[in-house]
Amino acid sequence: MDKQKVGLYEVDKVRERIEILKKYRRLLTVWKPKADHMKEDMAMIRKAFEVAADAHKDMRRKSGEPYIMHPLEVAIICADEIGLGKTSIVAALLHDVIEDTDIYKLSDIERMFGPKVAMICDGLTKIKKLFDATESSAQALNYRKLLETMAQDVRVILIKLADRLHNMRTLGSMRPEKRIKIAAETNYFFAPMAHRLGLYAIKSELEDLSLKYTEPMVFQDIVDKVNQSMEIRDIFAAQFLHPIKKVLTERGYDYKILVRTKSIFSIWQKMQRKHIPFDEVYDVFAIRIILDVPLKLERSACWECYAIVTDFYRPKPDRMRDWISIPKANGYQALHTTVMSDMGKWVEVQIRTVRMDEIAEKGYAAHFKYKGIQAEEHNVENWLNRIRDLLAKNEGDAVNLIDDFQGYLFNKEVFVFTPNGELRILPQGSTVLDFAYGIHSEVGNNCIGANVNRQLVSKFQVLNSGDQIEILTSKKQEPTEEWVKHVQTTRARAKIREALKEKKKFYAEDGRNRILEFLEQLNVDSSNVNIGNLQKLLKYSSSLDMFYDAYLGKLSLREIKQAIPETEKSWISRINPFSRSEKIDLSETLKKNKPVKSGLENLVSLNRKSNIDFDPSNFSVATCCNPIPGDDVTGFIQPDGSIVIHRTSCSEARNQMSKYGNNIVKTRWNSSGSISCLTTLKVKGFDRQGLLVEVSQIISNEMNINMKSVQFDTDSGIFEGDIKVYVSSTDHLKSLIARLAKVDGIQQVFRLQLNNDQLLMSM
């Protein structure tokens, strides 16, 4: 037998070749070529496969399998799950060739496969380099470059999504800290991108896989509960659907019905948002009715199907969603309703046609198949144009851009109208200012208010679907810092920041001169390096902000003097005011001003293998999530080399790790050492006399736990309270929660995450 030893793996070469060919045949099976070019297209795909196989012939993945299996899987996802064509499949097969070989250059790819394939491969190669970068400060900038590449040809990001999906499916072979980094950036950036491009199946799988590696115990617990309830759910669905199927068949509809389980991530989100256990999530599954009807009958057929469903089951009025009349920005169309079944359970029903279903599943790619059928096909292209516009005009830092863009990716929409009746789609929560900036930057900058539905309102008024808006302007109006807090769209934020930056630039020189005067009075050297050091001491993100505050009078001699440590101040006070021969250098001040060690050295272990310098003895516990021994934790390296310990599930930590993923340091609790850590419990229930006294006695006397504070509010016999306690571990906390749950009147006890007041874990 043809066997070979490669590293740690004993390889059966013959079996591998068979598996590779099977995978290639699978690609050809799922690909749907155009009949008039089938022969030429198949030849090109075959050639791309051969080039990729040759380039990767000596390479293996972390799992030990031949590397060529990865581009084959990516190409299969592009063809089968996204519905892309020949050009994208060829690019998917070749997407790592330029990066991983010295044999093939970009010019070779262009010569063999044409300029389009070469351009996509070049974009994918650049993206790969961005996400493999080791410089921690570069990650947010990398996202910006990714957006720039995506805006040139959307196929680049579609193939990148396929690449990320396969990497997530095989993430188990990576190191733990690498898994967390990849999972965090997947949930932060790639899942929302898939959502915005209409790839709901891929979006859900990316979210589920991200949860699997960031919250493995939570993920597995929900999976087990979903599997345990599967048989009962199937019986219930069959009974629920029986009368609907009967009428649809009698009326001659060609249809299919799917029973789709809600994604694990969506179930977990609802449990957190509603503070409920799994058993109380009523929409764990949804019924999807897909009608096969001609285009001109789509709307009437869907509404007739809705009437059939609601003839048998009473709908929940506030859960009706009509995305057929006004589709989502990514082209999604369907009717959604939630109805009460005969068994007393709410059931979500989705009604769509075959065309709508394909667009829902394959998103942007499916729009090409139905090009010209409807005006809504332009929504995604309009969205991409907005990205291009944003990138072309935004000069702010990359972190702001990505935060704005990520928020926009996941926002729901409202549908509003201009005075002439033109439809505009904005993110939910958008204000009059968002609408104004959507019209023109000058209209936004000069906005003083609006007539909404003929009623005068503030420029900060939040808009609702159906509103008709007339913007009112004044040449005397100009943006302020406050405006940024009152807008939702990336365009509005970018335009406001652009205007503020121009304003700051105008006054910056006056502010700089004022700071130079202050430094002169304090006998501090006024070199550019020292001004940069002063900026760090005063904790300004940019010198422009510091100069502008000085111009406004917000930064005075007193604040600058206070930023300098006491030792330097006493030296300043002894200086002869007429002597300028020796001046303070703030570089030394910065070195002396390092944060005090936390004193927790015996509690956690840090992996010292990192490309970034850090002090493993200098760390602190994050106040946003208050981790306690027993929690899954992750260390995050700060610019000064210190470490902040977050819970792995902390939203702030995920946000930071997704942008600065290479700053992650593997962290775990030591078995030795003990400490009392602060955490907050939310308690809800029915009020009664003596309840608070009983709760306090249980915590202090029975459990011997110190309390920091207790706050209870009662309304009409229902109470809600926050209890802040010091516990030594998650087991300690679980025992306390279990004991409090037995108290007469208490209905719910759970732990809070303080940074957004949402449930982290119900114990």
Check residue 331 and give left, alpha or beta (phi > 0: left; psi -120 to 50: alpha): left
Query: Is 90 exceeded by the pLDDT of residue 554?
Result: no
Mean pLDDT of all residues in 699-716: 85
Judgement on whether residues 385 and 340 belong to the same structural domain of the protein: no
Instruction: Supply the pLDDT for residue 449.
Output: 92
Residue 576, domain member (yes or no): no
Least confident of 235-249, 541-555, 628-642: 628-642
Instruction: State phi, psi for 659 to the nearest 5 degrees.
Output: -95, -30
Q: What is the rounded distance in angstroms from the CA atom of residue 620 to the CA atom of residue 637?
A: 11
Q: pLDDT at residue 555 above 50?
A: yes
Which residue type occupies 305?
A: C
- For residue 504, is pLDDT > 50? yes
> Is the Cβ–Cβ distance between 313 and 241 less than 8 Å?
no
Q: Across residues 513-536, what is the average pLDDT?
A: 75
Q: Would you state the pLDDT for residue 402?
A: 55
Residues 359 and 269 in one domain: yes
Task: Give residue for tokens 């939630």.
Answer: 338
Question: Domain check: are 286 and 142 in the same one?
Answer: no
Q: What is the mean pLDDT of residues 249-254?
A: 94
Task: Note the pLDDT of residue 71.
Answer: 93
Please give the Cα distance from 539 to 652 (Å, whole number): 20
- Give the residue from 399, 292, 428 showing the smallest Cα distance to 354: 292
Position 42, amino acid: M
pLDDT of residue 89: 92
Three-state SS annotation for 112-173: HHCHHHHHHHHHHHHHHHHHHCCCHHHHHHHHHHHHHHHHHCHHHHHHHHHHHHHHHHCHHH
| 265 and 177 housed in the same domain | no
pLDDT of residue 755: 47
Q: Which residue has the higher pLDDT, 577 or 268?
A: 268
Task: Return the structure tokens found at 454.
Answer: 């003929």
Statement to judge: residues 153 and 257 lie in one domain: no
| Residue showing tokens 């309840």 | 691
Please state, in angstroms and rounded to a whole number, the distance separating the CA atoms of residues 678 and 682.
14
Helix residue spans in 593-638 (DSSP H)? none
Same domain, 310 and 237: yes
In the prediction, which pLDDT does 539 show? 76
Query: What CATH code is carried by the domain that includes residue 693?
Result: 3.30.70.260
Query: What pTM value is reported for the model?
Result: 0.65
Token digits of residue 47: 């050639």
What does the alpha-carbon distance between residue 302 and residue 280 come to, in Å, rounded to a whole number? Answer: 30
Q: Please tell me whether residues 414 and 452 are part of one structural domain.
A: yes
C-alpha torsion 440→441→445→451, nearest 10: 20
- The band of 408, judged by pLDDT with boundaries at 50, 70 and 90, is low
Q: If 0-12 CB within 10 Å is exposed, 13-18 middle and 19+ buried, where does residue 143 land?
A: buried
The angle subtended at Cα 511 by Cα 508 and Cα 517, nearest 5°, is: 145
Alpha carbons within 13 angstroms on the beta-carbon side of residue 79 total 26
Check residue 27 and give its pLDDT.
92
What whole-number distance in Å separates Cα of residue 741 and Cα of residue 736?
Answer: 9
Q: Is the pLDDT of residue 395 over 50?
A: no
Mean pLDDT calculated for residue range 499-519 = 82
Q: Torsion angle, CA of 144/145/147/153, rounded to 10 degrees?
A: 170
Lowest mean pLDDT across 450-459, 536-545, 685-694:
536-545
**Size of the chain in residues:** 763
Q: Is the dihedral of CA 493, 498, 504, 507 positive or negative?
A: negative
Can you tell me whether residue 471 is helix, strand or coil? strand
**Could you tell me how far CA 379 lies from the centroid of its own chain?**
22
CA distances from 761 to 207, 271, 275, 503, 750 (A): 18, 9, 9, 46, 7
Residue at 26 is within a domain: yes
Q: Are residues 662 and 722 in the same domain?
A: no
142-201 pLDDT, tens digit per residue, is: 556 666 666 667 788 889 899 999 999 999 888 887 888 888 888 887 888 888 777 888
Same domain, 165 and 249: no
Q: What is the pLDDT of residues 597-646, one digit of tens each?
A: 343 444 555 554 444 455 555 677 887 788 888 787 888 777 666 788 88
**12 belongs to a structural domain:** yes
Q: Which residues are the active-site residues?
A: 99-100
**CATH code of the domain in which 147 resides:** 1.10.3210.10
- CB of 603 within 8 A of CB of 617? no
Structure tokens, 561: 């003097």
- Whether 722 contacts 711, CB under 8 Å: yes
Question: Structurally, how many domains does the chain consist of?
Answer: 5
Alpha helices in 32-114 (DSSP H): 38-55, 69-76, 86-94, 97-100, 106-113
Residues 557-600: tens digit of each pLDDT: 777 777 765 545 443 444 434 444 455 555 555 444 444 334 34
Report the percentage of the chain scoring pLDDT > 90.
22
Largest separation between any pair of C-alpha atoms in the chain: 102
In the structure, what pLDDT confidence band is assigned to residue 261 with cuts at 50, 70 and 90? confident
Instruction: Let me know if 678 is exposed, middle or buried by CB neighbors in 10 A (0-12, 13-18, 19+).
Output: middle
- When pLDDT is averaged across residues 324-338 and rounded to a whole number, the result is 85
Q: Do residues 255 and 353 lie in contact, with contact meaning Cβ atoms separated by under 8 Å?
A: no
- Residue 301, pLDDT above cutoff 50: yes
Query: Last residue of some domain: 214, 244, 262?
Result: 214
pLDDT at residue 462, as a whole number? 93
Say how far apart CA 427 and CA 434 lie, in whole Å: 9
**Residue 452: inside a domain, yes or no?**
yes
Residue with tokens 């100009």: 478
What is the phi/psi pair of residue 351, to 5°? -120, 125
Contact present, 736 and 704 (Cβ < 8 Å): no
Assess if residue 584 is contained within a domain: no
In-domain check, residue 77: yes
Give me the residue label for tokens 């006493």. Answer: 570
Single out the residue of 217, 273, 263 nearest to residue 648, CA to CA: 217
Q: Residues 641, 671: contact at Cβ < 8 Å?
A: no
26 exposure class (CB count in 10 Å sphere: 0-12, 13-18, 19+)? middle
Burial track 741-752 (b if 16+ CB lie within 10 A, e otherwise):
eeeebbebbbbb
The predicted pLDDT at position 21 comes to 92
Q: Which two tokens stand for residue 542?
A: 């940019």
Q: Are residues 321 and 423 in the same domain?
A: no
Note whether 759 and 271 are within 8 A (CB). Answer: yes
| Residue 182 pLDDT | 86
Would 417 be classed as within a structural domain? Answer: yes
Q: Which of 642, 669, 696 is the last residue of a domain?
A: 669
Q: How many Å apart are CA 468 and CA 424, to the nearest integer?
A: 10
> What pLDDT is recorded for position 120?
86
- Is the pLDDT confidence value at 240 over 50? yes
Strand-pair category, 664-665 with 677-686? unpaired
Token duo for residue 709: 């504070």
Our CA angle for 653, 213, 646, nearest 5°, is: 25
According to the model, what pLDDT value does residue 678 have? Answer: 83
SS3 663: helix
pLDDT value of position 260: 86
Same domain, residue pair 42 and 146: yes
Which residues span the domain enclosing 403?
378-480
Q: Note whether residue 98 is domain-resident.
A: yes
Q: Is the pLDDT of residue 367 over 60?
A: no
Of 33-37, 309-313, 516-520, 562-566, the least confident: 562-566
Domain of 329: which CATH number?
Answer: 3.30.460.10
What pLDDT is attached to residue 763? 32
* 658 membership: H or E segment, kind and range: helix 651-659
Cα 470 from chain centre? 34
What is residue 75's predicted lDDT score, i.e. its pLDDT? Answer: 94
Is 139 found in the same domain as 247? Answer: no
Q: What is the mean pLDDT of the chain?
A: 78
Which one, of 564, 555, 569, lies nearest residue 516 by Cα?
A: 555
Q: How confident is the model at residue 232 (pLDDT cuts 50, 70, 90)?
A: confident
- Out of 114-128, 363-377, 605-619, the most confident range is 114-128
Are β-strands 643-647 and 619-621 bridged in parallel, bridged antiparallel, or unpaired?
parallel
